[in-house]
Amino acid sequence: MTNQTLAQYANLGVYSAMAVFTLAMIAFAVDLAGAAPKVQAAASETQKEPALVGGGRSDDARVFAVRGDVAGLPRTRRAAGVAMMLTRLGGLLLIAAAAMRGLSVQRPPLGNMFEFALVGSMFVVVVFLAISLRRDIRWLGLFVVGPVLLTLGLAITVFYTDASELLPSLKSVWLVIHVTVATFSVALFTIAFSVTILHLIKAWLEVQDPAGMSRMRTIVNTALPPARSLDRTAYGIHAVAFPLWTFTLIAGAIWAEQAWGHYWNWDPKEVWTFVIWVIYAAYLHARATTGWSARAANYLALAGFGAILINYTVVNVFFVGQHSYSGM
Amino acid sequence: MTQSRMDTRPDESDVTQPTLGPVGTLRWAWRQLTSMRTALLLLLLLAIGAVPGSIWPQRNIDAGRVADYLATHRSTGPWLDRLGFFDVYSSPWFAAIYLLLFVSLVGCVVPRSKMHWRAMRAQPPRAPGRLERLPEHGQIEVDGAPEDVLQIARELLRRRQFLGRYCRLRSDDLSLSAESGYLRETGNLVFHSALIVVIVAVAVGHLFGWRGDRILVTGNSFSNTISAYDTFDPGPWVDTEGLSPFTVAVDKLDVTFEEHASGAQRGAARDFTAYTRTQTSPDAPWVHQILKVNGPLTFGGTSVFLLGNGYAPVITVRDASGQVLMHDATPFLPQDSNYKSVGAIKVSAASPKQLGFFGFFLPSEYLDKDAGPSSFFPDLKNPALALGVYEGELYPQGRPQSVYTLSTEKMTQLRNAQGEPLRLMLKPGQTAELPDGRGSITFDGVKRWAGLSIRYDPGKLLALGGAVAVLAGLIASLVIRRRRVFVRVRAAGRRTVVSVGGLAKGEDPGLGVTIEDLLSAIAQRSGTKT
């Protein structure tokens, strides 16, 4: 039933993608390091912005933020261009790898931890590339490609599972619906997590005196968009991911009802999916609650991602439940 | 107070704090409970409180593992048990969290619905004096009289592109107020109310729902009555007499296991299919139906699920004269992924002493050096029965006991000539003579059994509807923007200065662009060249 040759090609695709992402990561890092020379110009530019507000354009800071052109000045960013090309190539390799893995087992490649990691990484890269079509988020590249590389490395070594068929309880159209959406929203949460961390760093740097900053901090401070815009981006991605996670929960309940006869049974995976939902609900709730700072809310978002990591690793491998499909 | 004090702060005893009184205290407590901060705290508590249920085994899922845990953790186990860590989701503290959250939800939704109802019917507020103080604003100078420009702005705001279709306008002398996005709050309220619906649906399922489990050997049938179930677990308000009178017969069970892969995947289950005949009532015609994992049978609101399977060796026990004492298929329970199964065969017709056989059924038998008789594959590659034999009283004092184990307290194990416990190893078709004229046992063949779980949950459609409404409300509350836009005109010689200011609820990065677009549209319509 399973075509092992094709599965081997899929693994080859993963290895190639990892090589390409390594190069992309280096190129992104080189690009960020290059942000330093424009420090003075960028700093003065940032100071000028408030004066522009109230002119014909209602809020230049906003436009600036949306476009995300970090330095504010044309900076030749050849390294970033190379990095983006490499990321696209890596993305294509991942899509090919996922497709070959799926073909090798003649089902959607969503049956075990290796396959979740592969498809999840693919979604992360695809979402990153999709957003970058609409605005310049090259500053985020390093913080997307890095986690993807780490995930793929773990997937091909620790989580690796031979290509094979599914357990009977997984043979359902809901596998495609439930797990695809779950993986996709985890991909979004991952990107949002990176942006949230960057926001916290940037917010911390913004209150410091630019003159007294170390070189490293200056680079980071220059390379990142303003904290306000980072915060808005993170919130926006979370606001898309949360309804998708809600859908995951509902679709999972419908499927559980069909496969196991109860839509909710407090299985460890169900518990953690619920915990993640509650934490992110609290995050969105905190954003709307007066008396809660955006920073405290952002810590909730980080906690939510921590729960996602636990849900994927600890719950899959160590907890006994009906979702024990890690294949390990 | 006669003594002088350095401290200029008022002495706290001097401050006459308003006494709240019982009603006031209640009102204060209610305010606290229904505040958003408390709701947030309760949400976080709910998340933390749910976690132990995934770490420790739970009685409602696997009571056996709880017993194992208590047996191995003699010091901490009882304390965890007292604190409800093995029944987290029915423990008082977990109930306290979700009930408080439930009250908080109701206390939040009701007043907010009233407010929203009023807001939807009210006019937008009058434009504030200084629009440049608003978070988003812009200003241009256009040709034309103020009244005409305002009229243009009014027409433009009615268009869908700026504030959407459901925009409410208010005109004053030289200003205009527009408000849109009422559905954001509607969505928000739907989200919260639907959560309440989901909780109610879960409660309905708990009170009126039931589940029963039944192991059914192929070739047999069962009717939906309480006595037919191996275990039956009804909610407190279930009418156990009124179960729908269907019958299910399992004719054949096909099971496929992974043969080709190696490693952990080898022997993994691939397909279970039960070929059934069903009747909706004793007089109804039989219908052939296929029951699969992920494909339950349904009878009205009751569903039959295929959750497990195993082997039932068919055994004949005869006495010394060859008279059949027992001929039946006895289900054995699988213990590992290769279906090493345990079971007991009870021959109560044997005399003078009753006979009991206890041991393993092995679908693919091999002799493991340490574990003894074991199975290397879940399918029937080399089926064998490994049994020990006991004689004595099977049911001392008629106490209820598991059908899968022997209660050996009033029984003695048979021994062979060497004085070792007698062990029988039988392949299909083989017969073993029991020592000293006790008769014989024949292993005729193997049947499969289907583990059926029958559930009735009257709340599940309500829960689904509620969940869908939760999602719809959530999306509406996140996507729709609640905005107020104000336009103010003022004559400047023969021209008119137009100021536009905007205010949004929550994050709204697009509002600035909308205001820009509105301003340039006003300029265009009024014939101003920019």
Q: What DSSP assignment string belongs to A88-129?
A: HHHHHHHHHHHHHHHHHHTS-S-SSHHHHHHHHHHHHHHHHH
Q: Which residue of A has its CA nearest to B457?
A: A262
CB-based contact (8 Å) between B96 and chain A?
no
What pLDDT does B196 receive?
Answer: 93
User: B351 or A245, which is more confident?
Assistant: A245
What pLDDT does B213 receive?
Answer: 92
Question: Residue A319: is its pLDDT beyond 70?
Answer: yes
Mean pLDDT of A171-182: 91
- Determine whether B287 is exposed, middle or buried from the number of CB atoms within 10 Å of its CB (0-12, 13-18, 19+): exposed
- Encode pLDDT of B365-419 as tens digits: 999 888 889 999 999 999 999 999 999 988 887 777 788 888 888 898 988 888 8
Helix (H, G, I), strand (E, B) or coil at A199: helix
Tokens for B7, please give them: 């401290």
Question: Residue B190: is its pLDDT beyond 60?
Answer: yes
| Domain assignment of residue A89, yes or no | no
Closest CA–CA distance from residue A237 to any residue of chain B (Å): 11
Closest CA–CA distance from residue B124 to any residue of chain A (Å): 22
User: B269 or B188, which is more confident?
Assistant: B188
CB-based contact (8 Å) between B293 and chain A?
yes
What pLDDT does B13 receive?
Answer: 54
B chain contacts of residue A271, beta-carbon cutoff 8 Å: 50-51, 53-54
CA nearest B307: which of B453, B131, B102, B114? B453
Helix (H, G, I), strand (E, B) or coil at B515: helix
Mean pLDDT of B180-198: 93
**DSSP one-letter code for A150:** H
What pLDDT does A52 receive?
Answer: 38
Mean pLDDT of B103-109: 91
CB-based contact (8 Å) between B50 and chain A?
yes
User: String of b and e for B199-231 (b: at least 16 CB within 10 Å)?
Assistant: bebbebbeebbbbbbbbbbbebbbebeeebbee
What pLDDT does B65 receive?
Answer: 85
Stretch among A172-186, A287-301, B88-102 having the lowest mean pLDDT: A287-301
Tell me how many residue pairs between chain A and chain B have CB atoms under 8 A apart: 169
Fold of B123-181+482-525: Alpha-D-Glucose-1,6-Bisphosphate; Chain A, domain 4 (3.30.530)
B chain contacts of residue A62, beta-carbon cutoff 8 Å: 509, 512
Q: For chain B, how far is it from start to end, CA to CA, in angstroms?
A: 75
Kindly give, in sequence order, each residue whose CB lies less than 8 Å from that of residue B518, ignoring residues fewer than 6 positions away: B153, B156, B157, B162, B485, B487, B500
Query: Which of the four pLDDT bands, split at 50, 70 and 90, describes residue A74?
Result: low
| Domain assignment of residue A255, yes or no | yes
Q: Phi first, then psi: what are they for B396, rounded to 5°?
A: -60, 130
| Domain assignment of residue A179, yes or no | yes
* Run of H or E residues at B381: none
Question: Residue B158: is its pLDDT beyond 90?
Answer: no
B chain contacts of residue A171, beta-carbon cutoff 8 Å: 271, 293-294
Q: How many C-beta atoms lie closer than 10 Å to residue A155's C-beta?
A: 22
- Encode pLDDT of A88-120 as tens digits: 999 999 999 999 999 998 889 998 889 999 999
For B294, left (φ over 0), alpha (ψ -120 to 50), or beta?
Answer: left
State how many domains chain A has.
1
Helix (H, G, I), strand (E, B) or coil at A191: helix
What pLDDT does A326 receive?
Answer: 55
Stretch among A10-19, A43-52, A232-241 having the lowest mean pLDDT: A43-52
Strand ranges for B144-199 from DSSP E = 167-171, 175-180
What pLDDT does B383 receive?
Answer: 95
| Domain assignment of residue A200, yes or no | yes
Q: Report the alpha-carbon distance of residue B6 to residue A328 in Å, rounded.
A: 73
What residues of chain A, 47 to 106, have a C-beta less than 8 Å from chain B?
54, 56-59, 62, 66
Please state, rounded to an integer, the average pLDDT across all residues of chain B: 88
**DSSP one-letter code for B12:** T
| Domain of A295, in residue numbers | 170-328
| Domain assignment of residue A63, yes or no | no
Interchain proximity A232–B509, CB inside 8 Å = yes
The answer to whether residues A62 and A169 touch, using CB atoms and an 8 Å cutoff, is no
Query: Which of the four pLDDT bands, split at 50, 70 and 90, describes residue A219?
Result: confident
CA nearest B394: which of B332, B326, B348? B348
Please state, rounded to an integer, the average pLDDT across all residues of chain A: 85
What pLDDT does B265 receive?
Answer: 74
What pLDDT does B397 receive?
Answer: 78
- Encode pLDDT of B205-253 as tens digits: 989 999 999 999 999 999 999 888 988 989 889 988 888 899 999 999 9
Mean pLDDT of B513-523: 89
Question: Residue A43: is its pLDDT beyond 70?
Answer: no
Question: Residue A187: is its pLDDT beyond 90?
Answer: yes
Q: Where are the domains of chain B?
A: 22-118, 123-181+482-525, 206-259+267-309+453-470, 312-447
Closest CA–CA distance from residue B249 to any residue of chain A (Å): 19
| Domain assignment of residue A300, yes or no | yes
Query: Which of the four pLDDT bands, split at 50, 70 and 90, describes residue B7?
Result: very low
What pLDDT does B11 receive?
Answer: 53
A290 HSE (CA, 13 A, CB side): 2
| Domain assignment of residue A280, yes or no | yes
User: B169 or A75, which is more confident?
Assistant: B169
CB-based contact (8 Å) between A287 and chain B?
yes
Interchain proximity A250–B467, CB inside 8 Å = yes
Instruction: Write the residue in A56, A57, A286 that is nearest to B40 by C-beta.
Output: A286
A chain contacts of residue B86, beta-carbon cutoff 8 Å: none
| Domain assignment of residue A238, yes or no | yes
Query: Which of the four pLDDT bands, split at 50, 70 and 90, describes residue A324?
Result: low
The answer to whether residues B150 and B486 touch, using CB atoms and an 8 Å cutoff, is no
Q: Which residue of B has its CA nearest to A105?
A: B261
Interchain proximity B57–A232, CB inside 8 Å = no
- Encode pLDDT of A222-246 as tens digits: 889 999 899 989 999 999 999 999 9
Kindly give, in sequence order, each residue whose CB lies less than 8 Å from that of residue A215, ignoring residues fewer than 6 positions away: A36
Tokens for A67, please give them: 């476009």
Query: Which of the four pLDDT bands, split at 50, 70 and 90, describes residue A66?
Result: very low
Question: Residue B54: is its pLDDT beyond 50?
Answer: yes
Closest CA–CA distance from residue A195 to any residue of chain B (Å): 17
Q: Report the alpha-carbon distance of residue B476 to residue B173 in Å, rounded.
A: 34
Q: For chain A, how far is it from start to end, CA to CA, in angstroms?
A: 21
Kindly calculate the radius of gyration of chain B based on its CA atoms and give it in whole angstroms. Answer: 38
DSSP, residue by residue, B186-232:
HHHHHHHHHHHHHHHHHHHHHHH-EEEEEEEETT-EEESSGGG-SEE
Q: Report the alpha-carbon distance of residue A126 to residue A162 in Å, rounded.
A: 25
Q: Report the alpha-carbon distance of residue A105 to residue A109 in Å, rounded.
A: 8
CB-based contact (8 Å) between B264 and chain A?
yes
Question: Residue A41: is its pLDDT beyond 60?
Answer: no
pTM: 0.86
What pLDDT does A46 receive?
Answer: 46
CB-based contact (8 Å) between A188 and chain B?
no
B chain contacts of residue A257, beta-carbon cutoff 8 Å: 460
Closest CA–CA distance from residue B140 to any residue of chain A (Å): 7
Interchain proximity A275–B51, CB inside 8 Å = yes
For B321, left (φ over 0), alpha (ψ -120 to 50), or beta?
Answer: alpha
CA nearest A256: which of A317, A172, A165, A164? A172
Q: For chain B, what percent of residues have pLDDT higher than 70?
A: 96
B chain contacts of residue A242, beta-carbon cutoff 8 Å: 474, 478
